[in-house]
Amino acid sequence: MTKPILEIQNISKKFRIGGADGGYKTLRDSLFSKKGKKVYKSEFWALEDVSFDVYPGDTVGIIGKNGAGKSTLLKILSRITPPTKGRIICRGRIASLLEVGTGFHGELSGRENIYLNGSILGLKRAEINRKFDEIVDFSGVEKFLDTQLKHYSSGMQLRLAFAVAAHLEPEILIIDEVLAVGDADFQKKCIGKMESISKSEGRTILFVSHNMSAIQSLCSKGILLEDGKTKGVFDIAQAVSQYLYGEEGNSTAFFSPDKLNKNNSVFIIEAYIQNSKNLTTDRFAVYDDICVNIKWANQKGVPVNPNFILMNKFNVNVMLAIDTEVDRDGSLKSEKGTYISKITIPKNFLNAGEYFLHIALDSASPRTCHEVHYNALYFSVWDPMDENSVARGLFTSSYEECMLLPLLPSSFTKISEIIN
């Protein structure tokens, strides 16, 4: 059986806060103060009994709110700071990219820093020479290679630092939120490189980010940290779902009102999102069909058109879907009963990202909104960057099918005469 490349065993880290005698002292204060053990006001445990194993080739996303202990954990793994207790068994060489400029010297040129960082990683000069041209090409700072690093912008430093960390072949690559400093094109380039070295070269990656799309695109496993403790090691979709929405997790793909509005003429019973295999999920690849199902009741026999508005994480209206294609005035659904309306967002139509659905029941004539639920459903789309992702988020059918009313093909089924 394959041994873990990293074994994290009951790691804890304690910090001391404040002091009985105030903050910093002058030299005179230090010389003439009474000697004795400094008394601290309080202690803070940034990590408590964190344990998990990482196997060769794993891509692990470490997820948690600010202050959960993510950066502290990575600094311990990178041997920047020691743990208060616990131990780590590492069976490979680690390269870390935790902060812009980590492991670099501002007075040295970019060229010199490449060799410096390679030496820190334990590489010989010949090994660095073999990879040198690839590093420079990836970083895009060739023009400034012999300029002192202190004159680089933060983005240029990041480019060079990531290029060194990714190309000098460590068995374990640790990346903190630092990638957020880079521009969008460079972030995408970095994600692609990390995926390449994980899948093609079998190296292990630990990745911390608040960008859930990037986490889901790259990682297969997720470690959820909360208040310095591990909530567990999960499949990445479950980890992201628990991070965003708590213990219930998968409920983001399913919605049911707290109380049915049975006093309304029509009301929504539930809504859920499914993939092409009819599995309820809140995570889709760009080449997946996304089927939105709305179960609703018509109590008084009025014409009804179910619909939804799709919003991205920036609260921008991406699209409106309504079933006017098959039932323009809602008359086909004017009989009393319970219905399920299905509206499918076609594959390769949405780019990678996070999306929210407002769902509603309307009547066209007279124009009436019977019921609406904002942010009722959530799902994410990720780009796996593999051979199945042909269009990479670009819709390949007739553009008018999705941009002009009627917006999306839909169907509805009357499932009962009696409203439960």
pLDDT digits 0-9 by tens, 160-212 = 888 887 777 778 888 887 666 667 777 777 777 877 777 777 788 898 888 77
- Which residue has tokens 């073999």? 130
pLDDT at 398 over 60: no
Using pLDDT thresholds of 50, 70 and 90, give the confidence band for residue 407.
very low
Considering 28-37, 150-159, 196-205, the range whose residues carry the highest mean pLDDT is 150-159
Predicted local confidence at residue 37, as pLDDT: 55
Q: Dihedral angle at the C-alpha atoms of 133, 120, 139, 201, nearest 10 degrees?
A: 70
**What is the three-class DSSP state of 203?**
coil
Predicted local confidence at residue 167, as pLDDT: 79
Higher pLDDT, 239 or 115: 115
Q: Dihedral angle at the C-alpha atoms of 101, 102, 103, 106, nearest 10 degrees?
A: 30
User: What is the rounded CA–CA span in Å between residue 19 and residue 38?
Assistant: 7
Predicted local confidence at residue 192, as pLDDT: 78
Phi, psi at 57, each rounded to 5°: 85, -5
* Range with the poorest average pLDDT among 17-21, 30-34, 178-182, 387-391: 387-391
Phi, psi at 408, each rounded to 5°: -135, 145
Higher pLDDT, 84 or 307: 84
Predicted local confidence at residue 323, as pLDDT: 64
Q: What angle do CA 123, 128, 133 make, to 5 degrees?
A: 160
Higher pLDDT, 207 or 242: 207
Predicted local confidence at residue 85, as pLDDT: 92
pLDDT at 396 over 60: no
Q: Which two tokens stand for residue 347?
A: 């594959």
**What is the three-class DSSP state of 185?**
helix
Using pLDDT thresholds of 50, 70 and 90, give the confidence band for residue 404.
very low
HSE, side-chain direction, 13 A CA sphere, residue 110:
26
pLDDT at 66 over 50: yes
Q: If you average pLDDT over every residue of the chain, what do you get?
A: 79
Higher pLDDT, 181 or 250: 181
- Which residue has tokens 């991406």? 318
Please state the rounded mean pLDDT for residues 84-108: 82
Using pLDDT thresholds of 50, 70 and 90, give the confidence band for residue 40.
low
Using pLDDT thresholds of 50, 70 and 90, give the confidence band for residue 329.
low
Give one word for 228, left, alpha or beta, with left for phi > 0 and alpha for psi -120 to 50: left
**Domains of the chain in sequence order:** 6-245 (3.40.50.300), 251-416 (2.70.50.60)
Predicted local confidence at residue 401, as pLDDT: 44
Please state the rounded mean pLDDT for residues 294-318: 85
Predicted local confidence at residue 321, as pLDDT: 82
Q: Which two tokens stand for residue 329?
A: 């005035």
Predicted local confidence at residue 389, as pLDDT: 47
Give the CA diameter of the chain: 91
pLDDT at 250 over 60: no
Percentage, residues of the chain above pLDDT 90: 14
User: What is the rounded CA–CA span in Å between residue 150 and residue 156?
Assistant: 10
Predicted local confidence at residue 293, as pLDDT: 92
- Residue 94: enclosing H or E segment and its boundaries? strand 94-97
Predicted local confidence at residue 21, as pLDDT: 52
Please state the rounded mean pLDDT for residues 351-374: 83
